[in-house]
Amino acid sequence: MIRFIVNRGVQASTSRKSLAFFSLSRSAHSSFATVEAEEISGSRPAEVHNLVQGKWIGSSKWNTIVDPLNGEPFIKVADVDETGIQPFVESLCSCPKHGLHNPFKEPERYLLYGEISAKAAHMLSLPKVSDFFTRLIQRVSPKSYAQAYAEVYVTQKFLENFSGDQVRFLARSFAVPGNHLGQQSHGFRWPYGPVALITPFNFPLEIPVLQLMGALYMGNKPVLKVDTKVSIVMDQMLRLLHCCGLPVDDVDFINSDGKTMNKLLLEAKPRMTLFTGSSRVAEKLAGDLKGRIKLEDAGFDWKILGPDVQEEDYVAWVCDQDAYACSGQKCSAQSLLFIHENWSKHSLISKLKDLAERRKLEDLTVGPVLTVTTEAMLEHKNNLLQIPGSKLLFGGEPLEKHTIPLIYGAIKPTAIYVPLEEIVKEKNYELVTKEIFGPFQVITDYKSNQLPVVLDALERMDAHLTAAVVSNDPHFLQEVIGKTVNGTTYAGLRGRTTGAPQNHWFGPAGDPRGAGIGTPEAIRLVWSCHREIIYDVGPISKNWEIPPSS
């Protein structure tokens, strides 16, 4: 039997929490899970609840989620409407601006969160627990087992990274000598206090856990809103965290529509809100919240293949993964591929086609698109094909022999060629750079003397999340990197746009509202602010006299 013991130094502050016991002889997730991923169905629907003021609650109104693979109603979500937000408003308003902890208040909570992270990381490392979350992710956001497991793995490694003393190291301060004896200035990382975070459907575990824990590490009290279609994953993860020592009243969890969440934000007035999702909603929230927001919004992500052609099979495989893994439903998915003319002498496009055609619904290497319908994607394909010189390279057809409901999209991995000189025309640019959150990309080619045209096309883009420059030519890399701004850019032969692990910054650049995820720098930037305390204790010279007015 595995037993988790709360650190003696923080035992007093956590005495109301029971110690967690986990038995490997039984199901490893039986101590927290309220569902079995494989058993959720119309005849055995799962339920998702809300968490507020330390209590799990239902609702008078339940929202029914359909199985994205067959349309069967299989999850009931306790839906909070505008009349039910008051407990959440009160809970958030109960947190002071100086947070639940800070370097001068309850610093033992930094240690507590190091313990929680260690225990949660251990739990996610257990095969039965990681398999549980992997399959639960697959049920609500269908992707291959490997892609779903990668999300669990990154989350587990992130929690390992912030075990032990690493949480308190996030609050590391600095001091600068003053002008006279007894004076020093100290810079501290300070929490915002009441905060909110809103996360999308496509990474139902990784994004909310990494951002939620970052908020908690720095001393904030968050209310968490996850896309209702996938919120069952965080319902279960919060229960795991409670078993690992998370104080039940440190986090609120709400299921609602966007209008209700917007009303909650306006009434509770969180000091900071993290939003991950569409640019349209991001801009609305930025206005409503008067700029008190950090954004990791949509990205029309590009990749440039440089003049040095090598490792064609590998480059083709990475391009396929970047464009079509998770059915293209990644904010980092490859949306626009620029291919240097030197590659035209090789068989890259045919290799991309072969790799795309390997994908099938049976193993979820291609699957339902949860925010764009089949009709909308095919319409976009047809619009692109109206551009002179454009052509369908592969795909462009609906998936066959499936039971995916019509509210979702189901399309074969698709690539459209559009000539570079047409892409940059004013009348075409907006259409070509429209993000389609599905298995869809635009491909073009360029000559060496057209690199300035390519760079100009990138300069005109609004979203600057991820990018890749696939080349080992140092001068080419310098040219492209020096004239672009994407926040997470992979440079070199193995360059990619997707698959960010927990060990480097992931987030946009070029926008002061930009949010990062994963690293100590990201956590400090998003979930804390700078506070300067100047100690000036003297002594005062015995010969001091009141000086003239100045």
Catalytic residues: 296, 331
Task: Tally the C-alpha atoms within 13 A of residue 475's C-alpha that lie toward its C-beta.
Answer: 4
DSSP 351-415: HHHHHHHH--GGGTSS--BSSS-HHHHHHHHHHHHTSTT-EEEE--SB--S----TTSB-B--EE
Phi then psi dihedrals of residue 325, to 5 deg: -60, 145
| Joined tokens for residue 34 | 């309220």
Q: What does DSSP assign to residue 541?
A: P
Instruction: With CA atoms as reference, report the closest residue to 245 among 378, 122, 145.
Output: 122
- Asked if residue 68 lies in contact with residue 368, where contact means CB atoms within 8 angstroms, the answer is yes
Instruction: With CA atoms as reference, report the closest residue to 243 among 27, 22, 23, 49.
Output: 22
| Joined tokens for residue 23 | 């038995």
Say how far apart CA 456 and CA 479 lie, in whole Å: 13
Say how far apart CA 317 and CA 53 lie, in whole Å: 48
Please name the helix (run of DSSP H) or strand (run of DSSP E) that holds residue 536, with its range, or none: strand 529-536
SS (H, E, C) 46-102: EEECEEECCEEECCCCEEEEECCCCCCEEEEEECCCHHHCHHHHHHHHCCCCCCCCE
Q: If 0-12 CB within 10 Å is exposed, 13-18 middle and 19+ buried, where does residue 326 land? A: buried
SS (H, E, C) 145-189: HHHHHHHHHHHHHHHHHCCCCHHHHHCCCEEEECCCCCEEEEEEE
SS3 142: coil
Say how far apart CA 2 and CA 15 lie, in whole Å: 20
Say how far apart CA 439 and CA 326 lie, in whole Å: 8
- Give the count of beta carbons closer than 10 Å to the beta carbon of residue 275: 25
Task: Tally the C-alpha atoms within 13 A of residue 462's C-alpha that lie toward its C-beta.
Answer: 12
Task: Tally the C-alpha atoms within 13 A of residue 131's C-alpha that lie toward its C-beta.
Answer: 8
